[in-house]
Amino acid sequence: MFAMTNDMTVDRLQIGGGLFLTSKLMMKAEFLHQQDKDYPVTDSFSGGEFEGAMFSAAISV
């Protein structure tokens, strides 16, 4: 391993929520945005960024 002298940071925003559409059907949605900051230029995480959305539903019997 090698020593790193600077602190790296990861900024992450994650928002989610769900609701019952009927007594047996639930729907959920989630959004995520993540940025990797202050990594050395040679690091694979340097300038990394991710953004996405997820939707799901569940049925109970």
* 31 lies in some domain: yes
Domain that holds residue 49: 11-59
Q: How many domains does the chain have?
A: 1
DSSP 1-61: -----SPPEEEEEEEEEEEESSSSEEEEEEEEEEEEES--TTSTTTT-EEEEEEEEEEE--
What is the pLDDT tens value at each position of the chain, 61 positions in all? 566 567 888 899 999 999 999 999 999 999 999 998 888 888 887 888 999 999 999 999 9
pLDDT of residue 32: 96
The reply to whether 30 falls in a domain is yes
In a domain, 49, yes or no: yes
Q: Is residue 42 part of a domain?
A: yes
Residue 6 in any domain: the answer is: no
- pTM of the full predicted structure? 0.64
